[in-house]
Structure 1
Amino acid sequence: MSGADALEAIIGSFGKYQAWVVFLVTIARYPVEFQLNNVVFIIPGVEYICLDENASNGTKVCPCSNPEYDTSAIVSSVVTEWNLICDRTSLASLAQSMMQIGILGGSLIFGHISDRYGRKLSSLLSLLLQVLFVAISAVITEFWMFLVCRFLIGVTVGGVMLCCYVLIIEYSGKSFRPYLVGLSEVSFITGYMVLPLIAYYVRDWRNLQLWTSLPWIFLISYYWLLPESPRWLISVGRKKEAVELLAYIAKKNNRSVDNIEEIVEKIENEKPASYPELFKTPKIRMYAFITALVWMLCAHTFFGINQYIGRLQGNLYLNVFLSATFLIPGIFLVVLATLYLKRKISVTMSFCTAAISLIIIIFIPSEMTTAILIFAIIGQMGGYTTFVQVYLYSSEVFPTVIRNSAMGFASVFGRFGGFIAPFVVNIGIEWVSLTIFSGLAFCAVILVQFLPETKGTVLINTIEETERRGNKTEPQLSAQ
């Protein structure tokens, strides 16, 4: 369906008010971006000398009850504080993965809250709880407490990633969506670049958690600053509120406020949907399962490469900074691909870039560390651009009444992919790990071909519209 977008006609594809919303969301998301990438600094791989009597000061000897850790790069980490080495190494992997489990739960919880009670409430709750749980994680005293905090942090990360993204997507018209893909990633890339700089000067993991959370306590003010999504208000039948909000936005964007109520009344609406609606109709059900598997393979690829880079030789802070910097051209490529290529083609190209880069690494001699880093960064760029595009693609496939729930369901599978990524990295045989990551990325390419093409389409409001999409007898809709 590619009719005219009624909301775009009222408030514009992207005006001053939409820019304000994107600015608010960008600033608010930094604590989340820090948590997504800080695992290499707070739960790193460590070097140590074993001081046990029978160890003869050997390097990385196991078992070892009296290790002396190398603190030249990181003074204190979760690994060194609770001795997650030797037979406790799996606990380090678990600590890395606990946030992914939390994101899984958060995607479901906040996805439901968002579709039932609004984008604003779900976004505010996840943003504020994020700051709280990260700060608490910095002062706990037991490892099990840290695991609980990582889980709760993940719950809020899942909420922020979904709800804030959908909020800004629903504020833009279809003609601006390709550019919004790039704007929505400003916080991730800049946060990824700034994090190693902060970590370089704050080399204690507890202080790092505090520095990347407490300054954002000002997000309390977002109760008065962050608006609701007019598309959501319309989709659940709250059209009077939507008209008032749209009139306010139109004035801010210097647009006409005539006929707003008449236009809004023509837009289809449905009662708020929930997770069972994902499986009641054939197209929605098929899209839900395919999208979920694609998200799982996408997250597995991206987080796997991300943690693989953290284990490469060389300066940790420089490696992370460079990997973040080289994501910048990836964003420009995503915008161009979104503008000029069909969704299936652009997502396929990104998956293939990641997979092929990893295969090439297998055949590079281990002493050629620079070449390995280059192809790892190219692979990471492929995984990252895939993630960005899959978010957009999913938001276009599903209707407004169930958009967050659908993406929350898909994100559950995505977090499972992210959860197992550290264990694949830690297999210990590099070529096996890289083969698994690349092979699963190629599997995702096949799955993407079964999703509908959505380039240039209007965001659909209802499940009924989605089920009609692609039918030869489908009427031409111009309401949204």
Structure 2
Amino acid sequence: MEMQERNDEKTSKKFSKDLIQKVIGSFGKYQLWVCLLIFVSKFPVAWHQMAILFLAPKISYSCDESGQNNTCPCPEPTYDTSIFSRTIIMEWDLICEKRWLASFTQTLFQLGVLVGSVLFGMASDRFGRKNPLLVAVVIQVACGVAAAYVPEFWTFTFLRFLIGASVGGTMVTGFVIIMEFVGTQYRDITSALYQVPFNLGHMMLPMFAYFFRDYSDFQLSISAPIVILLCYFFVMPETPRWLIAVKRTDEAIVILERVAKINKRPTENIRADIEAYQASIEKQQLKKGNILDLFRTPNLRKNNLAMAFNWLTCSYCFYGVSQYVGQLSGDAFINVAISASVTLVGTFLSIPLMRVIGRKSIVIIFHIVCAICLLVLAVIPEGVGSVVCASIGVVSSFIVFVVVYLYCTELFPTVVRNAAVGFSSMSARIGSMVAPFVVETRDKGLWMPPVLFAVMPLIAAGVTLLLPETKGCELTTTIEEGEAFGKKKDTKN
């Protein structure tokens, strides 16, 4: 009897794994359409996440009383408006004892991303993928535009927190929608290409800042175009996988038949197949895990903590060094554009790397490359060389970011995979929340930020040695399989 139940479970799992992909295909015209829709939402994600580069750029000021430049205390500063006519630093005098507030507004933004990722992630499991995405888009449009006009710092910072929450929501739900439509063999490429619009959005940011030198105009310029995402109300589909999971089978069948027709797939047996599948999963369902299961057994606990530290490190370095580039001497617009352009190259480079080299090797190599570049940055004078070193550091950490997402999904069993990705994502947000304050240590010594950023990837490279390789390995399903994975010699490609 027990053997039969196990066989039924395996049959059910195989059925559920392959059926929707079999019905609509791995990647066709409809999947391309969905990807393009979601990719558009990544542009404003980049604009808002990196906006601090031009909301609070490096600003010089003179003190009327002392006649000296950039000194404290300075009760009546006169700001240099030759490059930026108005920034949040000028607007609310965020200098001297209030200097930390400029970093604090970015930290609260990243806290918003963390909170939004968690809340919208839970909402997407309960209310579907489409509706939480629509809510996130509306919040992003409304708060983004409002932030351009509020006259008070704390109101502005609270609105930035809400924008961060909406950014977290669009990232989480958008990625899930893509992954639930795209077939297994295309998910690694798609997950990497998902970062391309972010890179392009990052590259566009200096253009916005160049033409809009007042922070209020700049904030409006990166928020108003998001209105286009309101078209999601009419064109964004719900995912059939979620509809089937919550027993809204008829709605799922309608969508699947439409997708199959667009992808030129047969539609005759869809209703019968889906109804049979629905009946099979009602008889036999896999026990769901939760975040506590990641800490109950030693191997999963070790893998989870090591993976979370990797996410924290690459987020800490990417956002921190990207912000640091904007503080370097030279043209801020060109510095940021170069840094963003190199990151785009890194995204495309990560695709063949993931096909050829193991995940573990890529993560270790680029952590070390990032650390070396940042240590060199600490000892060379500011100029072209420092921008190059910082840009290589940024792109190295971003390559790790791309790879570690796939690495995490492959490392953990199905029943706790979302929990593992969620925990790692929370760790990444902690890294990005701390990073702005590290950039501020530049006032104490030009060498301090690069060294403080370099230490973490060196440690992370060592921590990654504790992880097993996942390239070419079958995905695990149960807690027991996940606990056993990597204890013996791993299967490597």
Amino acid of the structure 1 residue aligned with 2:437:
F
- Note the C-alpha offset of 1:400: 6.3
Give the equivalent residue in structure 1 for 2:48: 35
CA 1:457–1:149: 2 relative to 1, 3 Å? farther
Alpha-carbon distance in structure 1 between the residues aligned to 2:387 and 2:447: 15
Q: Separation in 1 of the partners of 2:435 and 2:40?
A: 29
Residue 140 of structure 2 contacts residue 167 of structure 2 at CA under 8 Å; is this kept in 1?
Answer: yes
Structure-1 residue corresponding to 2:216: 206
Greater alpha carbon shift after TM alignment, 285-294 vs 246-255: 285-294
1:255 correspondence with 2:230: no
2:28 corresponds in structure 1 to 15
Q: Which amino acid aligns with 2:401?
A: F
Gaps spanning 5+ residues in structure 1: where? 473-480
**Amino acid in the other structure paired with 2:364:** T
Q: Find out whether 1:384 has 2:398 as its counterpart.
A: yes
Hey, what does 1:345 align to over in structure 2?
361
- Quick check: 172-181 or 259-268, which moved more? 259-268
Aligned to 1:475: none
Alpha carbons 1:103, 1:155 under 8 Å: kept: yes
**What is the rounded CA distance, in whole Å, between the counterparts of 1:258 and 1:411 in structure 2?**
41
What is the alpha-carbon distance in structure 2 between the residues aligned to residue 456 and residue 301 of structure 1? Answer: 29
1:429 to 445, 460, 471: 445
Matched AA of 2:310: V
Compute the displacement of 1:72 (Å): 1.4
Moved more, 462-471 or 97-106: 462-471
1:329 pairs with one of 345, 348, 368: 345
In structure 1, what is the equivalent of residue 233 of structure 2? 223
The alignment partner of 1:326 has SS state of helix
Please state how far the C-alpha of 1:7 moved relative to its aligned partner.
Answer: 3.7
Q: Does residue 314 in structure 1 map to residue 325 in structure 2?
A: no
Q: In the alignment, is the contact (CA less than 8 A) between 1:308 and 1:425 conserved in 2?
A: yes
Q: Is the counterpart of residue 160 in structure 1 residue 160 in structure 2? A: no
| Cα distance, 1:262 vs structure 2 | 3.4
> Once the 2 structures are TM-superposed, how far is the Cα of residue 445 of structure 1 from its aligned partner?
2.3
Counterpart selection for 2:86 from 73, 76, 81 = 76
Separation (CA, whole Å) in 2 of partners of 1:105 and 1:208: 25
Q: Does 1:151 align with 2:161?
A: yes
Would you say the 8 A contact 1:14–1:176 is kept in 2? yes
8 Å contact kept, 1:107–1:158: yes
Tell me which residue corresponds to 1:441: 457
Mapped pair 1:26 → 2:39: yes
Could you tell me whether the CA contact under 8 Å between 2:468 and 2:486 is conserved in 1? no
311-320 or 286-295, which deviates more: 286-295
Q: Deviations over 1:75-107 (max 9, x none)?
A: 111100000011111111212211111112112
**For the residues of structure 1 that align with 2:51 and 2:216, how far apart are their CA atoms?**
12
Mapped to 1, the partners of 2:470 and 2:266 lie a distance apart of: 29
Deviation sequence 1:297-321 (CA, Å, 0-9, x none)? 1211111111111111111111111
Shift in CA distance, 274/311, structure 1 to aligned 2, threshold 3 Å? same
TM-score by length of 1: 0.88
Instruction: Supply the AA of the counterpart residue of 2:218.
Output: L
- Taking the aligned partners of 1:253 and 1:324, their CA distance within structure 2 comes to 35
In the alignment, the residues of structure 1 paired with residue 222 and residue 139 of structure 2 have an alpha-carbon distance, to the nearest angstrom, of 14
1:358 aligns with 2:406: no
Q: Which moved more, 1:133-142 or 1:395-404?
A: 395-404
Question: 1:122 — aligned with what?
Answer: 132
3-state SS in 2 of match to 1:68:
strand
Distance in 1, matches of 2:396 and 2:231, equals 37
Q: Output one character per residue of 1:245-287: Cα deviation in whole Å (capped at 9) or x when no partner.
A: 3332222111223554537456775577765565567766554
| Residue identity in the other structure for 1:135 | V
Quick one: higher RCO (CA 8 Å, sep 6+), 1 or 2? Answer: 1
Answer yes or no: is 1:91 the counterpart of 2:101.
yes
Shift of 1:448: 3.3
Asked if 1:298 is matched to 2:317, the reply is no
Report the Cα distance in structure 2 between the residues aligned to 1:464 and 1:42, rounded to whole angstroms: 46
**Stretch moving more, 59-68 or 432-441:** 432-441
Greater Cα offset, 190-199 or 229-238: 229-238
Deviations 1:366-397 (A, max 9, x none): 15x11111111111110111112222333444
Conserved 8 A contact 2:196-2:344: no
| Runs (5+) with no aligned partner, structure 2 | 1-9, 488-493
Letter paired with 2:305: F
Q: Following superposition of structure 1 onto structure 2, how do residues 365-404 of structure 1 map, counting pairs within 5 Å? A: 366=381, 369-398=383-412, 403-404=417-418
Post-superposition Cα deviations, 1:191-249, rounded to whole Å, max 9, x if no partner, equal: 11111111101111111111111232232331231122334445556555444433322
Indicate yes or no: 2:156 matched with 1:140.
Answer: no
Please name the residue that 1:175 is paired with. 185
Question: What amino acid maps onto 2:236 in structure 1?
Answer: L
